[in-house]
Amino acid sequence: MSKRRILVVDDEPDLTLLLRLNLERTGNYEVREENGGSLALPAAREFRPDVIVIDIMMPDMEGTDAAALIKDDPLVGDTPIIFLTAVVSREEARQTMGAHRIIAKPVLMDELVQVIEQEIARKG
Amino acid sequence: MGVAERKPRSDRPSPVEAQAPVAFTVEDDRVSSMLLGRVLKHGGFEFQQFGNGDDMLAALDQCVPDVVCLDLGLPGRSGLEVLEAIRAEQPLLPVVILTGSTEVDDVVTAMHMGAYDYLSKPLDTKKLLTTLGNAIELGRTKRALEHSESMMVENAKAKSLRVIAAGIAHEVKNPLAIILHSLEYLSAQEIAEDETSARVLKCSQSAVLRADSIVRGLIDLSSGGKLTLEIGDLNHVIDQTLLLLRFELDQGRVRVNKQLDPALSALPIDERQIGQVLLNLIMNAVHAMPDGGTVTITTFEGEVSERTTETLWPGDRVAVIEIRDTGSGLSEDAIDHLFDPFFTTKAPGEGTGLGLPVSRKIIEQHRGELQLRNGAQGGVVATIRLKLGDDQ
């Protein structure tokens, strides 16, 4: 089976590097890193990921806004999106994230992998 | 005059505003004092009369009146000294000076010191009552203003704490995530094949998760925390929480004894938040019994018999959850500090010291109360009381 493609977007390059290293070492994923919300849509159109993991609070463009752009895109609009957030108000999460999954940082890799697999399975 | 030294007014019983106004009089001349008493009685006042300043100041420690009528020419401590003491102790308490014609300089000084007004003897009955009425009105307005100012300060403090907590969350959680992912990466490398190195990595990882749980607790504690209230069944929430804790209960060799009232009324609750409180309390019970034991969870409906909090009144119908353990109970010192953030009796690394303050906050948001005490048969009893609506 070919590797799943994961697009990881966070303004912290160290974090995207480590997420890439950890996801790639499972042998199941091919990962592309981007370090700004505004780069998410162009990267998604080019890379055609199976899942997008994206931070919410980024200086250039919020993850939620980037996700809205992606959702409206005819090419990649149906890509499952997993939000990462450093602010863990569950209440806020419930209100603003709609159908998307939201995970509080820091997340254990096992948990992240589990959510990624669930999202891939859900999309079918 | 140090405002900071002043005891808060609410510490002492004070006359209820709707009742008759209360006056203290300080007058050494018996005849003048008697006449003054008569006027006050006629004006609908309740009053206490004192022959010297020291007795009045002692009484002020027990009860704060609405106004003080103070004669300046007193034996012992002078009228001005008594005024100074009142101003230091109760800066909002209005003082009306009663004066003979020979004390003009002292009257001027008294007014500079903050006396409300002065009246010359012999006293004009109508003028005395009008002046006292105005003085009381001003005192009440000042107190109301002070109260709303202090509420504003409290709100501002809570708000800035929320902003700080959110800032900490963002600034601390990203580095924590980076450390955690680095440790996870290293754990999969050759270095982790060495047993000691693997253990070092494991220790670091649990330290990161501990730091994270403290940050989460801080956010829970400081957040405005809107509740999502839906009519729910407390017994159901208890069952769900126990399911979640099966592993911890087994591992701690803790037996659960459920005595749930099947007829318990449903009430508006945020099930997730109440579940969080139950989880905290049950885990506390498990930690309190390192050699195993029994947790007894009881639910029933009852009526509040005495007022212990702002939210529940005698006669209110409440749903009660009691969680008892068979551990060694709490020391007096621990009971005093249970709800202080970061206070913990658990071993280092086991508790954040935020579980109980967060739990109490959640229960108070539900307009209920959470109390912990030592049980009559040993162990700790945690009691949650939630108000039932009038139609339940």
* Cβ–Cβ pairs < 8 A, chains A and B: 63
Interface contact flag, A18 B170, Cβ < 8 Å: no
Confidence (pLDDT) at B101: 66
Contact, B361 vs B225, CB < 8 A?
yes
A15 inside 8 A of chain B by CB: yes
Confidence (pLDDT) at B350: 66
What separation in angstroms does the CA of B392 have from each of A4, B233, B235, B260, B387?
55, 13, 16, 18, 10
Confidence (pLDDT) at B223: 65
DSSP B76: S
Closest partner CB to A14 (pick from B169, B178, B184): B178
Closest partner CB to B166 (pick from A12, A14, A87): A87
> Smallest CA–CA separation between B55 and chain A, in Å?
56
Question: Smallest Cα–Cα separation from B206: which of B229, B186, B232, B184?
Answer: B184
Pick the residue of B163, B170, B171, B174 with the most A CBs within 10 A to test the interface with A by mutation. B174
Indicate yes or no: pTM above 0.90.
no
Which residues in chain B touch residue A96, judged by CB atoms under 8 angstroms apart?
Answer: none
Q: What is the mean pLDDT of residues B287-294?
A: 93
Q: How far apart are CA B177 and CA B185, in angstroms?
A: 12
3-state SS class at B157? helix
Q: How far apart are CA A34 and CA A30, in angstroms?
A: 14
User: How much is the mean pLDDT over chain B?
Assistant: 84
Place of tokens 């099947």: B262
Q: How far apart are CA B289 and CA B112, in angstroms?
A: 65
Closest partner CB to B184 (pick from A22, A88, A89): A22
Which residues in chain B touch residue A21, judged by CB atoms under 8 angstroms apart?
Answer: 181, 185
Question: Smallest Cα–Cα separation from A117: which of A24, A51, A49, A68?
Answer: A51
Confidence (pLDDT) at B148: 79
Is the pLDDT reported for residue B85 higher than 60? yes
Interface contact flag, A15 B185, Cβ < 8 Å: no
Confidence (pLDDT) at B282: 94
Contact, B387 vs B335, CB < 8 A?
no
On the CB side of B119, how many CA atoms lie within 13 Å of its CA? 21
| Rounded-to-10 torsion of CA B300, B232, B257, B259 | 30
Is the pLDDT reported for residue B168 higher than 80? no
3-state SS class at B384? strand
Q: What is the mean pLDDT of residues B375-388?
A: 92
State both tokens at A105: 């940082």
Confidence (pLDDT) at B16: 39
Is the pLDDT reported for residue B13 higher than 50? no
Is the pLDDT reported for residue B285 higher than 80? yes
CA angle B109, B116, B147 (to 5 degrees): 125
Q: Which residue has the higher pLDDT, A116 or B352?
A: A116
Interface contact flag, B174 A15, Cβ < 8 Å: yes
Q: How far apart are CA A66 and CA A60, in angstroms?
A: 10
Is the pLDDT reported for residue B11 higher than 50? no
> Smallest CA–CA separation between A75 and chain B, in Å?
31
Q: How far apart are CA B262 and CA B233, in angstroms?
A: 10
Is the pLDDT reported for residue B22 higher than 80? yes
Closest partner CB to B184 (pick from A12, A14, A109): A109
| B151 pLDDT tier (thresholds 50, 70, 90) | confident
Confidence (pLDDT) at A114: 93
Confidence (pLDDT) at B310: 65
Pick the residue of A28, A33, A105 with the most B CBs within 10 A to test the interface with B by mutation. A105
Beta strands B317-324 and B368-374 are: unpaired
Top-confidence range, B190-199, B336-345, B383-392: B190-199
Closest partner CB to A106 (pick from B170, B212, B226): B212
Closest partner CB to B170 (pick from A21, A87, A108): A87
Confidence (pLDDT) at A76: 95
Which residues in chain B touch residue A107, judged by CB atoms under 8 angstroms apart?
Answer: 177
Confidence (pLDDT) at B134: 92
> Smallest CA–CA separation between A89 and chain B, in Å?
8
Q: How far apart are CA B304 and CA A107, in angstroms?
A: 44
Confidence (pLDDT) at B3: 35
> Smallest CA–CA separation between B170 and chain A, in Å?
5
Which residues in chain B touch residue A87, judged by CB atoms under 8 angstroms apart?
Answer: 166, 169-170, 173, 219
Interface contact flag, A106 B177, Cβ < 8 Å: yes
Which residues in chain A touch residue B212, judged by CB atoms under 8 angstroms apart?
Answer: 106
> Smallest CA–CA separation between B214 and chain A, in Å?
12
Is the pLDDT reported for residue B297 higher than 80? yes
Closest partner CB to B188 (pick from A25, A57, A105): A25
Is the pLDDT reported for residue B14 higher than 60? no
Confidence (pLDDT) at B377: 85
Interface contact flag, A87 B181, Cβ < 8 Å: no
Please tell me which residue of chain A has the smallest CA distance to B168.
A87
User: What tens digit of pLDDT does each residue of B42-63 get?
Assistant: 999 999 999 999 999 999 988 8
**Residue numbers in chain A where pLDDT is lower than 50:** 91, 95
A32 inside 8 A of chain B by CB: no
Q: How far apart are CA B291 and CA B281, in angstroms?
A: 18
Interface contact flag, B225 A12, Cβ < 8 Å: no
